[in-house]
Chain A
Amino acid sequence: MTTATAQPITFATTKPESLWDKARKRFFRHKLAMFGVVTLSLLILVSIAAPLLTPYSPIELDLRAIRQTPSAAHWLGTDGTGRDVLTRVLYAGRISLSVGLVSVSISMIIGVIIGTIAGYAGGKIDMALMRLTDMFMTFPSLVIIITVASAMGPSVYNAMLVIGLLTWPSIARLVRGQFLSLREEQFVRAARSIGVSNWEIAFKHIFPNTVSSIAVAITFGVANAILLEASLSFLGLGVQAPTPSWGNMLRDAQSLNILEGMPWMWLPPGLMIALAVISINFIGDGLRDALDPRSIL
């Protein structure tokens, strides 16, 4: 051990690049995520532009054109009451996707708040909040949704609300878990040793480190909510006829001879659900990889 070694160490490049720039780059390089983004944007776009894309109404019946096979006039055929399946699939996208987004926003707000409080406060508060969360988790969600839907009357808004109110526990647990482990990190202790207040430690030091997993949970939550809405509508408790949603279109195609002989009635909405869920999950995967500051370019 000799004298000082305090000499500046230089890198070849010193151009600063923010964490977000890097994350964005990584995200755009993620092939599956890009596939998800493109597909989902396309789905959203055609749902919004539905009136411009088809000449038919999604609601009005046309009893002269019942159960027609796909043709030049009806690309995806018509359903049991003569409505154009393509038109209905496009309009249904509006409902299904917005149910996904709205209900996840509700569940995220509740989940993040409860998870943050429980994870940072710890002790008795954590205990109380987590037992509440457990309680919500043990509810068989479908049964509750059915009960609530039948009590309050089935509607799109009720479906959004109920899905939101029943799916927050998973987000709360995730956020709490993240807080619990991050709270023990040395950098939190370092912040305390500097004199940073509890409030600032929670929001400036810990919360930014949970954002990536929350973002991922949100995407998976949207996919899950779309599926839940589909099952609700399939059971006749979600979106009500004649408004189309992917779920109630499947429900309308339940009978055996339709399943066997008229795949154009159930294949398109089913494919749309699968496509939407898969692309959202790919986006979630991409986000998870991109938002980890430790992953290397």
Chain B
Amino acid sequence: MNAAVQLATGSKPLIEVENLKVHFPIRHGLLRRQVGAVRAVDDVSFNVYEGETLGLVGESGCGKSTTGLAVLNLLEATTGEVRFRGQTVTRSSEQQMRPLRRHMMMVFQDPYSSLNPRMTVGTIIGEPLSVHQMGGPAERAERVQELLRLVGLNPAFINRYPHEFSGGQRQRIGIARALATSPAFIVADEPISALDVSIQAQVVNLMSDLKAQLGLTYLMISHDLSMVRYISDRVAVMYLGKIVEVGSRDSVFDRPLHPYTRALMSAVPVPNPKLERERKRIILEGDVPSPSNPPAGCRFHPRCAFAEEVCRHEEPALRVLEGSNSAEHRVACHLAEKLAE
């Protein structure tokens, strides 16, 4: 995977996210006065480079799905900017978005509700083609069959309805739909979390095969660290609306710098009973604070075992570790150097 790391530092970004904030207003009273905001995504910046898979991890409610939706402009960004191949995506109307949509698609978490129960598989997969006026009806039907074959389904399923399929098959249909227009970039929002464990590996493998075959770029949103480790080239860790650590997969998993990342990594079971018994778990105290009223300073400090005075007042920036030779492993922690020892 060294090639991927080089890619990440050398090639140009396909997606650029700059200071993205997504706040949901909290309104009260008869006049619907705004009394606060849920800061689901609060000042997040990252790039996704051509041909890589960026894994976005964090516990539920940390804003990773919101980030994914905002990147595709399916949720409006409060401030900040997202660019696709240099073109601004944020704050553009649906008309302006339309020509971009065929290049950036999404695979959804729930394969049961993400397919319209009243449409046939053929209509579902063919819809992106008809929306973007790609080919005539005959060509489209042919393309749909090709896509079904590509995701490992029988092309004869074209006239069937979603309820006739299992979860894993439905997710394959969802993937085929996302691939119909030959997009460059796919946001996969927890694509396997709703599936049976025995099916998860199949879908992950399918996605990584397709990536290699079609030269796709993924933003893989997940809380499943083993899956992220398996499929990602780079990993970004989110906590309470912020990215706390980002770097190549191996450096983040082998040398996690942020105390939160360490706690997360320690929760991954090891498939070796001997090692598993000796595995030290870092158990975090307390709950995730409310994103409508995040703690001052470092957002992690109330749950951090190492927190010092500076953590309570000053918000740490995402930075490269001092004396580190890896320019792209960055962490948002005041004490990273101390803790690295």
Contact = CB atoms under 8 A, between A and B. Distances in A.
A11 B154 contact: yes
A7 B149 CA distance: 8
A182 to B, nearest CB: 10
B326 interface: no
B161 A6 contact: no
B74 A192 contact: yes
B193 interface: no
B152 A198 contact: no
Contacts of B102: 195
A283 to B, nearest CB: 21
Nearest to A10: B154
Interface string A280-297: 000000000000011000
B157 A5 contact: no
A7 to B, nearest CB: 6
Given A6-B209, A11-B154, A194-B131, A209 B169 contact: no
B113 A8 contact: no
Contacts of B118: 19, 208-209, 293
Interface string A8-28: 111100101011000000000
Contacts of A197: 94
A255 interface: no
Interface string A240-257: 000000000000000000
Contacts of A294: 117, 163
Task: Describe A's contact surface by its main secondary structure.
Answer: loop
A1 interface: yes
A195 B128 contact: yes
A8 B206 CA distance: 12
Contacts of B12: none
Contacts of B159: 16, 18
B101 A187 contact: no
Given A16-B120, A208-B118, 7 more contacts: A6-B152, A8-B152, A187-B114, A194-B177, A195-B97, A293-B117, A293-B118
B206 A6 contact: yes
Interface string B66-84: 0000001010000000000
Given A3-B205, A5-B205, A293-B163, A190 B114 contact: yes
A131 interface: no
B108 interface: yes
Contact of B105 (A4, A193, A198): A193
Contacts of A186: 108-110, 113-114
B158 to A, nearest CB: 8
B209 A4 contact: yes
Interface residues of A, number: 33
Interface of B: 72, 74, 94, 97-98, 101-102, 105-106, 108-110, 113-120, 127-128, 131-132, 149-154, 156-161, 163, 169, 174, 177, 201-202, 204-206, 209, 230
Nearest to A184: B113
A208 B106 CA distance: 24
B105 A185 contact: no
A191 interface: yes
Contacts of A195: 94, 97-98, 101-102, 128, 131-132
B161 A293 contact: yes
Given A6-B209, A185-B113, A293-B163, A190 B154 contact: no
Q: Which 9 A-B pairs have the closest CB atoms?
A: A16-B159, A195-B101, A6-B152, A186-B114, A14-B156, A186-B113, A187-B116, A193-B106, A5-B202
A1 B116 contact: no
B115 to A, nearest CB: 6
B113 A187 contact: yes
Given A8-B149, A209-B118, A293-B163, A194 B205 contact: no
Nearest to A4: B209
Contacts of A194: 101, 105, 127-128, 131, 177
Interface in A221-265: none
B198 to A, nearest CB: 11
Contact of A4 (B101, B120, B205): B205
Contact of B117 (A9, A189, A198, A209): A209
